[in-house]
Amino acid sequence: MRPSHQQPFVELLLFSLISSHLCEICEVSERNNFRLDPLLNAMTKSNYIRGTESANVLFSLRLVGILNQTLIQGLSQQVRSYAEGREINLSSGQLALIIMALGACHTQDENFIGKHHLVDHLENKFQAEIKNMEEHNGSPLTNYYQLSLDVLALCLFNGTYSPTKVAGLFAPENENYYFHGQFSVGTGAMAVLALTCVKRRLGKEQTKADEDLKHTENNIRTLVKKILSKKKENGLIGNTFSTGAAMQALFVSSSYYNESDWNCQQTRDTILKEISLGIFKNPDAAAQILPSLLGKTYLDVNQASPCAHLLGNINISIQEPQPVAPNSSSYISVHYSVKINETYSTEVNVSRGSVFLEVMEEAQKENKTIFGFTVEQSSWGPYVTSVQGLRANNNDKTYWEIMSGGKPLDQGIGSYVVHNGENLEVRWSTY
């Protein structure tokens, strides 16, 4: 029997219907929207959001349909001001995130993308990543999470890339998915979103690239299996902060696993409990989890119509930090160390509820030579790039590891809330 030319369209239609149903099952109901308030408050602290954090927050708020024009327009202006003139210096993933934030919902910001040739700049940065991998034993300039953002943005905004090259780069056995021998759920999930976009684009173009399509589908299938293998008894996938990306990946890939493989309601309920405990204080972490709780994914960026108004013009209360009176109950003491070849330590006093980054800042005030550091913003929040001038390098597979009690933390320096008497450490490490 001659194959039907309608088959790819029918498969895409069925796929979208299944994914939509799964999103509806996991979506937080309207009567429970108040449980998302802590996320919205974390994302709209005007004195905290900066750089690519603004892009991450803008992207998330647009996807879920926030209509607060004062807030959205302010964030949009921040993102455009930050991006203007910095295209060359931004990392590839930062630029990809900015493109998706400005391009979401078909607003006037799309004109900025074209005027400043942001997609062209991203194409060049993506090629530079590939070149670095070819010259340095498979190591990108950044990491595979950012490369996945690159491919996703290029795919969504009609950039140029090779589907064959992408299928080869994102093979599941690639070591860049792993960190200390452990599969990174967040990285794998973002790769699934990127590969799903590539797959859909191949199907729409009705090309003869059957091998590319088959290779891409096999990658998605294996990555989804790896993501599900990291599902915990309470429904979290990987850890609290990787679960949002994992949910998005599973929404768009439901044809690759059985319904019994994932209880999305359990995952949703566990995340809502984590929100109530104040886990998502970091704007980036809050921005990443919010879309998945409302059944949205990053692939919704290129819908034909503006983003659906899921939350509408709700009243967002922007909570500014309150000054803390200097008494014994409002401050805590932690032990902070920097370890390179030898260990440098100090005792630091910070206000109760402070995050790891604030401990580092206090130590730096005490002795900049020993505790001086630099950070960069990513879609996961700030991360340490150097301490004492010693800079992490992907080509050498070196990085700054943050630890508590001698154990690596699964939260970033902008998210992890420190506790009285804790032993905190920043350690020069390799992977």
53 pLDDT tier (thresholds 50, 70, 90): confident
pLDDT confidence of residue 144: 94
Residues 322-366: tens digit of each pLDDT: 443 444 468 899 999 999 999 999 999 998 878 899 999 999 999
Among 346, 347, 357, 350, CA closest to 330: 350
218 pLDDT tier (thresholds 50, 70, 90): very high
pLDDT confidence of residue 12: 42
Three-class secondary structure of residue 393 per DSSP: strand
CATH number, domain 331-430, options 3.40.225.10, 2.40.50.140, 3.40.50.10320, 2.170.130.30:
2.170.130.30
Could you state, in order of their start, the residue ranges of all structural domains in the chain? 7-302, 331-430
**Lowest-pLDDT range of 16-20, 98-102, 306-310, 424-428:** 16-20
Three-class secondary structure of residue 10 per DSSP: helix
Instruction: Give me 351's structure tokens.
Output: 């206000």
At position 26, the amino acid (one-letter code) is C
Q: Within the chain, what is the greatest distance between any pair of CA atoms?
A: 81
Residues 190-215: tens digit of each pLDDT: 999 999 999 999 887 755 568 899 99
SS (HEC) of 3-26: CCCCHHHHHHHHHHHHHHHHHHHH
pLDDT confidence of residue 323: 40
Residue 138 has pLDDT above 80, yes or no: yes
pLDDT confidence of residue 319: 43
CATH topology (fold) of 7-302: Glycosyltransferase (1.50.10)
Three-class secondary structure of residue 186 per DSSP: helix
Q: In this structure, are residues 93 and 150 in contact, taking their beta carbons and an 8 Å threshold?
A: yes
Mean pLDDT of the chain: 86
Instruction: Give me 249's structure tokens.
Output: 């990946």
Q: Is 146 annotated as a binding residue?
A: yes
Q: Is 384 annotated as a binding residue?
A: yes
pLDDT confidence of residue 17: 45
At position 23, the amino acid (one-letter code) is C
Three-class secondary structure of residue 240 per DSSP: coil
Residue 10 has pLDDT above 60, yes or no: no
pLDDT confidence of residue 303: 65
Q: Is 313 annotated as a binding residue?
A: no
Q: Is 416 annotated as a binding residue?
A: no
pLDDT confidence of residue 379: 57
Alpha helix (H) residue ranges in 28-68:
37-43, 52-63
For tokens 């602290």, name the residue. Answer: 45
* Sheet with 381-387, edge to edge strand ranges: 373-378, 381-387, 390-391
Among 189, 305, 164, 310, CA closest to 247: 189
pLDDT confidence of residue 306: 60
What average pLDDT does this structure show over 357-385?
87
Q: Is 336 annotated as a binding residue?
A: no
**Beta-bridge partner residues of 377:** 382
pLDDT confidence of residue 47: 58
Residues 236-248: tens digit of each pLDDT: 999 999 999 999 9
Residues near 164 by beta carbon (within 8 Å), at least 6 away in sequence = 209, 211, 212, 215
Burial class (CB in 10 A: 0-12, 13-18, 19+), 415: buried
Q: Is 420 annotated as a binding residue?
A: no
Residue 427 has pLDDT above 70, yes or no: yes
Number of H helices, E strands in the chain: 16, 10
Neighbour-count burial for 120-135, b at 16+ CB within 10 Å, e otherwise: ebbbebbeebbebbee
pLDDT confidence of residue 15: 43
16 pLDDT tier (thresholds 50, 70, 90): very low
Give the angle subtended at the CA of 183 by the CAs of 286 and 283, to the nearest 5°: 10
pLDDT confidence of residue 26: 87
pLDDT confidence of residue 327: 46
Among 358, 430, 357, 339, CA closest to 392: 430
pLDDT confidence of residue 93: 93
46 pLDDT tier (thresholds 50, 70, 90): low
The proportion of the chain whose per-residue pLDDT surpasses 70, expressed as a percent, equals 85
Measure the CA–CA gap between 410 and 241, rounded to whole angstroms. Answer: 8
SS (HEC) of 118-135: HHHHHHHHHHHHHHHHHH
Transcribe 60-104 into DSSP letters.
Answer: HHHHTTB--HHHHHHHHHHHHHHHTTTTTTS-HHHHHHHHHHHHT
Q: Is 383 annotated as a binding residue?
A: yes
Residues 146-194: tens digit of each pLDDT: 999 999 999 999 999 999 999 999 999 999 999 878 899 999 999 999 9
Q: Is 266 annotated as a binding residue?
A: no
Residues 54-90: tens digit of each pLDDT: 999 999 999 998 878 888 999 999 999 989 878 778 8
Q: Is 158 annotated as a binding residue?
A: no
Phi, psi (deg, nearest 5) at residue 80: -65, -40
Measure the CA–CA gap between 127 and 129, rounded to whole angstroms. Answer: 5
Measure the CA–CA gap between 287 and 79, rounded to whole angstroms. Answer: 15
Residues 253-309: tens digit of each pLDDT: 999 999 999 999 999 999 999 999 888 888 888 999 999 999 999 999 876 556 666
Measure the CA–CA gap between 167 and 195, rounded to whole angstroms. Answer: 8
pLDDT confidence of residue 19: 58
pLDDT confidence of residue 66: 86
Measure the CA–CA gap between 316 and 215, rounded to whole angstroms. Answer: 45
Three-class secondary structure of residue 149 per DSSP: helix
Q: Is 6 annotated as a binding residue?
A: no
pLDDT confidence of residue 242: 93
Q: In this structure, are residues 290 and 39 in contact, taking their beta carbons and an 8 Å threshold?
A: yes
pLDDT confidence of residue 428: 94
**Beta-bridge partner residues of 424:** 336, 404
pLDDT confidence of residue 69: 84
The proportion of the chain whose per-residue pLDDT surpasses 90, expressed as a percent, equals 62
Q: Is 48 annotated as a binding residue?
A: no
pLDDT confidence of residue 7: 43
pLDDT confidence of residue 100: 96
